[in-house]
Amino acid sequence: MDAKGAVARINLEAVRHNLNVAKRLAPQAKAIAVVKANAYGHGALSVAAALPEADMFAVARFEEAQQLRAGGICQPILLLEGFFNRGQLEQAATQNFHICIHHLAQLETLERTPLTAPVTVWVKLDSGMHRVGFRPEQVEGVFARLARLPQVIQPVNAMTHFARADEPDQNAVTQAQIAQFTQLTQGRVKATALCNSAGVLAFPEAHCDFIRPGIMLYGITPFGDQQGTDFGLRPAMTFTSSLIAVREHKAGEPVGYAGSWVSPRDTRIGVIAVGYGDGYPRTAPAGTPVLINGRKVPLAGRVSMDMATVDLGPEATDKVGDEVILWGEGLAAEEVARHVGTIAYELVTRMTARPHLEYI
């Protein structure tokens, strides 16, 4: 027997391939590789270091940008929600962090803060997402105020974010966002950026100057009913563990906490060394597939902190130590996410610190 705990194998070659897919789809645009939230769980520094072809990187938090700089990443880094306080603004300028400005509070701070080096600004416009960004009626005034600031590189850039580009039957919503953004920015900014992965894949007319692919870099599609391989993407993370027990199980016996699953037949139950302590979702219901020895096997019983159980079937020949793929190569994270009732973004991003990341 040779069992192992949970390991996430990260294929950096796949990430590089996926960035190239994005670049081929948008040949006129530069690529801002989105590596926020530890590169969606894949390890921000390792991913960024593997992408010399990325023109820029984007993160959501100042600390994430600092980590990349400290690790030797040289490309400009866009702070997607800008700076959260004046100290971050002062440091952004010296570290070549591009700042997004989405709120008047940020504009006021910028106006009051002299900087040792001028800063690149991306004005975030609310074209319909209604989460962050300036409303259309504010935009004119924001551009005018920024144009007066010597600490800002002129002219500024503009960006917006799609709310529903991942929904094929909501194209009109995204088209309205594109039209709104174009009308507000045409002839008034240096560069524009609209597209998340869904935009890159489905809205070529909006590729503009910069694309911001995130999830697709990791081989996952934003479209709920498809998977990355449908677009020539390769899964970057293969989340694995192994069987630590194979048990004879009688018809009518329950498995695990609360006895929520009862076997309808005599069978063999496999116990996998993975649980919510590793980031495998506790909400994964019975029937969620895992891949063992090349076949899909359904979860049976509740996922606990350290273990999950599967119904291997009465004829199973699987042994202690056999590898289990929870998602990744051979079992799309999108498929698992559909069973769990979430999106694959969440599966890969909420890995805990326990499984180590193994780079290949």
Ligand X SMILES: *Cc1c(COP(=O)(O)O)cnc(C)c1O
Q: Which residues are annotated as a binding site for substrate?
A: 131, 305
Radius of gyration of the chain (CA): 23
Local structure of residue 96 (DSSP, 8 states): T
Contact window for ligand X (CB under 6 A) among 181-189, 192-200, 273-281, 331-339: 192-200
Instruction: Give the separation between CA 224 and CA 228, rounded to whole angstroms.
Output: 11
Q: Scanning residues 65 to 84, which ones bind ligand X (CB under 6 A)?
A: 80
Contact window for ligand X (CB under 6 A) among 110-118, 195-203, 227-235, 280-288: 195-203
Instruction: Give the separation between CA 350 and CA 284, rounded to whole angstroms.
Output: 14
Do the beta carbons of residue 88 and residue 77 sit within 8 Å?
Answer: no
Q: Is 213 in the site for ligand X (CB under 6 A)?
A: yes
Residue (16 or 161) nearer to ligand X, CB: 161
Q: How far is the CB of 197 from ligand X (least distance, A)?
A: 3
Contact window for ligand X (CB under 6 A) among 196-204, 279-287, 298-306, 351-359: 196-204
Q: Looking at 31, 65, 79, 215, which residue binds ligand X (CB under 6 A)?
A: 215
- Catalytically annotated residue among 40, 190, 257, 345: 257
Residue (212 or 249) nearer to ligand X, CB: 212
φ, ψ for residue 267, nearest 5 deg: -155, -175
Contact pattern for ligand X over residues 20 through 59, marking x by CB under 6 A: --------------x-x-----------------------
Q: Is 214 in the site for ligand X (CB under 6 A)?
A: yes
Q: How far is the CB of 303 from ligand X (least distance, A)?
A: 26
- 308: closest CA among 261, 264, 252, 342? 261
Residue (128 or 275) nearer to ligand X, CB: 128
Q: Looking at 127, 174, 177, 196, which residue binds ligand X (CB under 6 A)?
A: 196
Contact window for ligand X (CB under 6 A) among 191-199, 231-239, 242-250, 261-269: 191-199
Residue (36 or 249) nearer to ligand X, CB: 36
Amino acid at 237: M
Instruction: Give the separation between CA 334 and CA 344, rounded to whole angstroms.
Output: 5
Question: How many residues line the site for ligand X (CB under 6 A)?
Answer: 13
Is 257 considered catalytic here? yes
Sign of torsion, CA 8 12 18 23? positive
Do the beta carbons of residue 160 and residue 124 sit within 8 Å?
Answer: yes
Q: If you write DSSP's letter for every residue of 15-81 in order, what string do you get?
A: HHHHHHHHHHHSTTSEEEEE-HHHHHHT-HHHHHHT-TT-SEEEESSHHHHHHHHHTT--S-EEETT
For 52, residues 6+ apart whose C-beta sits below 8 A from its C-beta are: none
Is 359 considered catalytic here? no
Q: Is 197 in the site for ligand X (CB under 6 A)?
A: yes
Interface residue list for ligand X (CB under 6 A) = 34, 36, 80, 161, 196-198, 212-216, 222
| Active-site residue list | 36, 257
